[in-house]
Amino acid sequence: MASNQLAICELWDVTLPVLPPRSRLYNLMPVGVGTPNVESLTGYIARLAEAHNVPTRTLMARELLPLLDGDPLSEPVRDSPSSSWPKATQALNGFGTLARDWV
């Protein structure tokens, strides 16, 4: 190659990637992933609330439920403490669509 020729280099794509909005919550790893003793979703949410020093209900109502438009759990939590909230949360530890959406 002659010294007066320019080397051809590949072009780099320097556009910034699209990043999803970031959570204000701590990034806690679930306990026991890959073992029979994996942490339940409700257990994880309770531990997350404890790490933020807020009641679980407050974390759910102010941080998690607003992210889920039309979630069936949103009305009981926001409107009535004597609602079907305890029964509905059992579905969060299952394999249905409600649990998948929450994860």
For 53-66, b where at least 16 C-beta lie within 10 A, e where not — what string? eeebeebbeebbbe
At 37-58, the pLDDT tens digits run 989 888 999 999 999 999 998 9
| pLDDT mean over 4-14 | 75
Decide if 92 contacts 60 (C-beta within 8 A). Answer: no
| 47 contacts: CB under 8 Å, gap ≥ 6 | 28, 31, 39
At 50-83, the pLDDT tens digits run 999 999 989 988 888 887 765 555 454 444 544 5
At 10-40, the pLDDT tens digits run 777 788 888 888 778 888 888 998 898 989 8
Domain boundaries, the chain: 41-102
